[in-house]
Amino acid sequence: MSVQLVIPGMPAFVNPERMSVLENLSALRQEWESAAEGDSLLDVTASVGLMLFDIATKLGLTPDERSFVLGVQLNNEITTVLVSEPAQ
């Protein structure tokens, strides 16, 4: 399998649980497609920060890992937003 990355020179990450990662990312895409209500995902405007949070969540990152990936500021902003939103 050949991996082509958008950023030249960036090494590919090989995860021993690759299938689980693929399934979770596919589930995330399906959730976004559902939210887009038939519109192309290329035309959907969304928060990059929230998308990164969704990805971190789908990958099952711990709170410390999530904070590392998102950065302290974004992690704190998202935590504040999630705490202030009513439960669905």
Q: Indicate the Cα dihedral angle 48, 52, 58, 59, nearest 10°.
A: 150
Rounded to an integer, what distance in angstroms lies between the CA atom of residue 67 and that of residue 36? 28
Sequence spans of domains, the chain: 18-84
pLDDT at 61 over 70: yes
Rounded to an integer, what distance in angstroms lies between the CA atom of residue 34 and that of residue 32? 5
Share of the chain above pLDDT 70, in %: 80
Rounded to an integer, what distance in angstroms lies between the CA atom of residue 54 and that of residue 84? 18
pLDDT at 3 over 80: no
Q: What is the pTM of this model?
A: 0.68
Share of the chain above pLDDT 90, in %: 47
pLDDT at 6: 56
pLDDT at 72 over 80: yes
Strand segments, DSSP code E, in 30-75 are: none
